[in-house]
Chains A and B, each alone.
Chain A
Amino acid sequence: MAKTPTRGGAAPAPSVDAALARQLLTDKLLIRRFEEKAAEAYTLGKIGGFLHLYIGEEAVAVGATSALRPDDYAISAYREHGHCLAKGADPKRTMAELYGRRDGLSGGKGGSMHLFDKSVNFLGGHAIVGAHLPIAAGVGFAVKYQGGDQVVVCYFGDGAVPEGEFHESMNLAALWKLPVIFLCENNRYAMGTSVERALAQTEIWKFGQTYGIPAERVDGMDVLAVREAVARAVTRARQQKTPSLLEADTYRYRGHSMRDPAGAVYRTKDEVEREKLRDPIVLFREKLLAADVLSEADVRAIEKDVNDRVDEAVAFADASPEPPGESLFTDIYKES
């Protein structure tokens, strides 16, 4: 029997039943374990290039996706493993893509920064900061043009906010009333540059006011808070084609990428440790246990299931062959 847990602090927690709790915890754990394994594989040289880990930020992708329908769209930047997995991509094919293998989502041609999965309406994996915001607006434009009622969730970091394309996209989405939810994951650092060093207006959600669209700041470590805020935005987008700007206050534990493993130059160890006290998985699990929504045995079963799936993903990626040489020249032009 599901119970309604209460959150630490004054405000009562939003209701969560056991099935939802299990799903949210599973999805967050899957992303974290997946990325821990990816980091391991990177150090073993099995994954190359840039690998940007999402660890610490899982509640945003999972909370947001839980408020969507499967036919809604999601699009992201280059720290997108979590968004892609949350949207429903197969971890095996996702890991194989990180490995640059034939069975990867893009046959090994995209890599960590360019995950795409059309089968779950995940539109990528874009690695030029800010560039996917106008694209998200375009998807919203198409939904409206085609008379659909899907919404588009567009994830981006605080680093995209000073880009012109952030402002062009806010303006166009507001001007044309496009069903896009701009979801800024403010993890406080664009690579090594803190928001204070990058933005004249550090309260990012306030740009929504400038463009006349609903905007709010949400605790990005609280999966239920994210879910509720995104659900409100989804309702507005679906029913009135109103875009929203949400700012999720979150934190990445790892460096900018695996090439910045400690992330130590621009922030203190104390700060990182302090942020880890807000961990979106640990706190949520404790809350569920304290409120008897899930039992210890439930949690253990979830952890085992997740570990098995991630092990399977790694084994699958390891076993997948390299892409054939001739695929260098495929998928450049689509034959009509």
Chain B
Amino acid sequence: MAVMTYREALNLALREEMQRDPSVFVIGEEVGLYEGAYKVTQGLLKEFGPQRVVDTPIAESGFTGVGIGAAMVGLRPVIEMMTFNFALLALDQIVNSAAKMYYMSGGQFNVPIVIRGPGGPAAQLAAQHSQSMETYFYHVPGLKVVRPTTPMDAKGLLKSSIRDDNPVIFIESETLYAVKGEVPEDPEFLIPLGKAIVRREGTDVTVIAYMGMMYRAMEAAEELAKEGISVELVDPRTLRPMDTETIIGSVRKTHRVVVVEAGAGFAGMGSEIAASVTEQAFDDLDAPVERVTGANAPMPYARNLERLKTPSKERIVAAIRRVCNVNGH
């Protein structure tokens, strides 16, 4: 184990996979000479050269399509979106080309690509740079969607995503790049896609969260532990395919569920998890599933409004108390 930042863990994953497999290459805006807008690709140009670390002009649909075409004939591109909000310009390529190719061709052409970059709320980046973009992708059969919360997950899940034979949407976070954690140095360390993790064991309530919301939920769990409420924290890690087995297993143990998500709640991840829990574990529930979600508003710029938009520790604590029937109804 080594202690490193989330950013370094991603960088290490890229480097190891590029060393391991010559068909892996990195392509995107500012990934080479500039070394990445958030420095995730630092040093790669120097080590692997411009053929495998490809700077592109600002043409998201174009270079995403280039990645898809290259993947159809044997390469394994890792496409960087400078921020995932820009992936909307490539949405057609991702949804209509990458996700459908294997199916439309009856299994003749698969598309092993990773599209990665930061998304979700950051620090006053305002409406067009702060969206929780996973919701746009996890609806689509043919895509896998990953949201890695810790440096260890960043490395293990990115490596698995690169080795996966399907298009993988891998959304990081600006707010997590500097987070430090333990990361295995073993180049064969992988975390399988589609497997959730229980980050904290508890008995009273299951809280499901990922990315920045997981860190807030951890703080909430610490605070509530002092009051004797035992919170179990489940991180799905992969949103599609979703490991409902681990989630349901936890629900059967705690009988109470709170889902926390940064994105606007309508038709969000919380809705989907609440539906699964209701369908599969209704009789186990002692309280309705609570959702703590981002407000149904675009992301504002002003610091105070931004704070109101995104779920706070206080709102998470309040929701947990509600489902546990503590301090009122």
Residues of A within 8 A of B (CB): 73, 75, 104-110, 114, 116-118, 123-126, 128, 131-143, 145-146, 164-165, 168-169, 171-172, 175, 330-336
Contacts and interface: CB of A to CB of B under 8 A. Distances in A.
Contacts of B68: 134-135, 138
Interface in B110-165: 110, 141-142, 144, 163-165
Contacts of B104: 106, 109-110, 114, 116, 124-125
Contacts of B105: 106, 110, 114, 116, 118, 124-125, 331
Contact of A73 (B73, B108, B164): B73
Given A135-B66, A331-B103, A331-B105, 4 more contacts: A110-B106, A135-B65, A135-B72, A333-B165
B238 to A, nearest CB: 12
Residues of A contacting B: mostly:
mixed
A138 B106 contact: no
Contact of B106 (A109, A135, A171): A109
Contacts of A138: 65-72
Interface stretch (B8-16, B89-97, B296-304, B309-317): B89-97
25 contacts: A73-B73, A109-B103, A116-B108, A117-B108, A123-B69, A125-B105, A131-B93, A131-B96, A134-B61, A134-B69, A135-B66, A135-B93, A137-B65, A138-B66, A139-B72, A142-B73, A142-B74, A145-B51, A146-B74, A165-B65, A168-B61, A331-B106, A331-B107, A333-B102, A336-B163
Contacts of A168: 59, 61-62, 65
B198 interface: no
Interface string B33-76: 00000000000000000010000110101111111111111110
B166 interface: yes
A172 B66 contact: yes
A124 B109 contact: yes
B233 to A, nearest CB: 28
B25 interface: yes
Given A110-B105, A118-B109, A333-B166, A134 B93 contact: yes
Contacts of A75: 69
Contacts of A73: 73
Contact of A331 (B67, B69, B97, B102): B102
Contacts of A108: 106
Nearest to A336: B165
Given A116-B108, A131-B96, A138-B68, A332 B102 contact: yes
Nearest to B167: A333
Contacts of B62: 134, 137, 165, 168-169, 171-172
A142 B96 contact: no
Contact of B110 (A117, A135, A334): A334
Closest 4 CB pairs of A and B: A138-B69, A134-B65, A168-B62, A106-B106
Contacts, number: 147
Contacts of A140: 69
Contacts of B63: 134, 172
A137 B166 CA distance: 20
Of listed A125, A138, A172, residue having the most chain B CB within 10 A: A138
A120 to B, nearest CB: 11
Nearest to B77: A138
Contact of A128 (B25, B74, B96): B96
A141 B141 CA distance: 27
A269 to B, nearest CB: 36
A204 to B, nearest CB: 19
Contacts of B71: 138
Of listed A107, A108, A140, A145, residue having the most chain B CB within 10 A: A145
A136 to B, nearest CB: 6
Nearest to A107: B106
Given A110-B104, A131-B93, A172-B62, A137 B69 contact: yes
B71 to A, nearest CB: 8
Contacts of A335: 165
B69 A136 contact: yes
Nearest to A126: B97
A142 B75 contact: yes
B195 to A, nearest CB: 14
Contact of A104 (B65, B66, B106, B142): B106
Contacts of A164: 61
A132 B92 CA distance: 11
A116 B66 contact: no
